Amino acid sequence: MFRHRFFILNFYYFNQCIFAMRIKIIMLALLCSACTEKPLSTQETQNLLSQYTWAYTPPNSDTPIKLTFNLQTISMDSECNVIGTGYHLKNNLMGVRHPIPSTVMGCPPHLEKQESFITGFFEQPVPFKISSRSSQHPKLIFQKNQQEYIFIGTKRSHENAHGE
C-alpha cells in the first residue's frame, strides 16, 4: 500500500512538472514572437525612410554620408556636392535610377572618395532592412559585398520629411 501511494504521489508530481514545463515553453514562445519585428509594407517602409535622415560614417572619416528620402527620391550628401535620384524598393532591395545626377564642385579628396563610394554603392540594387526597435534612432542596414553598412536614423522635422 505504501508503494502504491508513493507511486501515485510520484506520478502526480511528475505530471505537475511536465505541465509547468509546457506552460513555460509556451510562454517563452509567445515572448520570443512578441520580440520579432513584423515586415513593413513598401508604403510603410517609404514613410519610415522619409521621416529620418540616415547617416553612416565610413572608417577613417569624420564626415558622415547622409541619405534623405522624399516621395520617390533619394538625396545623398557628404557635405560637398548635391547628389540625388529616384529610388525604388522591391523584395527588400533598394535600387536607384541611373545615371545618378550630381553637382560638380571640386571637393577635398576625402569627400570625393565618399561621394564616389556612395554613388558606386547603389550601382546595383542593394539588400536592406530597417531595425526600428529604437524609435529614437532606427537603423537602415544595407548588405553589400558580405558586409553590413549601418545608417543611423535621426528624426527630421515635419516640413522636411514630406518635401515641403
Domain ranges within the chain, ordered by starting residue:
1-36, 42-161
CATH number corresponding to 42-161: 2.40.128.270
CA distances from 149 to 33, 61, 71, 139 (A): 27, 14, 23, 10
Q: Which residues of the chain have pLDDT under 70?
A: 1-38, 134, 158-164
CB proximity list for 105: less than 8 A, separation 6 or greater? 80, 81
Question: pTM for this one?
Answer: 0.73
Q: Which grid cell sits at 11? A: 506520478
Q: Which grid cell sits at 125? A: 540594387
